[in-house]
A = this chain, B = another copy of it.
Amino acid sequence: MTYCVGLCLEDGLVMLSDTRTNAGVDHIASFPKMHVVENPGERILVVLSAGNLAISQAVLTFAQSGVEVDGTLQTLESAPNMFAAARLLGAAVRKVHAIDGKALDEQHVPFDVSLLLGGQIAGESHRLFQIYSAGNFIEATCDTPFFQIGEHKYGKPILDRVVHHDTDLRAGIKLVLLSMDSTLRSNLTVGLPIDLLVYRRDALRVELRRRITEDDAYFRDMRERWSQALRDAYRALPDFE
């Protein structure tokens, strides 16, 4: 499984993905699910992927090498704006479906892929999209400033409670890490290390990119503090009369 989350906040983007993949319980490996295209001063695109690894790798490869959209060959490096980049990824998903869909269907393997695309291209604001396995997509708005793909339920309650469009980037980092923490605890197929990327609006370059491993002192400390805080908080609640 996979868990990826992206926040589209007033101040910028916070993107987080795990790295674990599995085919059954005895074939577990680590693959990055965060792909960054950066042309400092001009564009920064971050793609997070979930679902079948063969499909998502093929989609990314096509999106980087070129897919035809409206008769023009486009890549993540050449798409003129974020909407075009989202369309490009959707077209890449449909291309992989055209190539592999029938054979997967014959093996009863679902065509399962979903992507988050966050970033900014000079000339417009930063944006966040979620692309479905049909190649269509939705965009985050002020009312719904976050998207999740993969094993999303365990980590949703904290985001539902706290994330708003005007949440600042520092708070956003803590929130995606807490969301990941809940997921890591409840689903063994989501695993460390995790990849964090922070983008500040209009910077047109990565502000922070960090691979967080088991040894990361901040994340370990945060997880312990959070567990303790939750235990303290539930103990402090009045008893049911």
Q: Assess A185 versus B173: contact at CB under 8 Å? Given A153-B153, A234-B178.
A: no
Q: How far is the CA of A240 from the CA of B170 in the complex (A)?
A: 7
**Cβ of A170: which chain B residues have Cβ within 8 Å of it?**
239-240
Q: How far is the CA of A221 from the CA of B153 in the complex (A)?
A: 25
**Cβ of A171: which chain B residues have Cβ within 8 Å of it?**
234-235
**Cβ of A218: which chain B residues have Cβ within 8 Å of it?**
238, 240-241
Chain B, residue nearest A184 (CB): B157
Those of A173-229 within 8 Å (CB) of chain B: 173-175, 177-178, 182, 185-186, 218, 221-222, 225-227, 229
The yes or no answer to A108 lying at the interface (CB within 8 A) is: no
The yes or no answer to A160 lying at the interface (CB within 8 A) is: yes
Q: Do the beta carbons of A157 and B185 come within 8 Å of each other?
A: yes
The yes or no answer to A230 lying at the interface (CB within 8 A) is: yes
Q: How far is the CA of A77 from the CA of B176 in the complex (A)?
A: 50
Q: How far is the CA of A177 from the CA of B241 in the complex (A)?
A: 13
Q: Do the beta carbons of B160 and A186 come within 8 Å of each other?
A: yes
Q: Which A residues have a C-beta under 8 Å from some C-beta of B?
A: 153-154, 156-158, 160-162, 170-171, 173-175, 177-178, 182, 185-186, 218, 221-222, 225-227, 229-231, 233-241
Q: Sample 7 A-B pairs with CB under 8 A, ordered by A number.
A: A154-B154, A161-B185, A171-B235, A178-B237, A218-B240, A218-B241, A229-B233
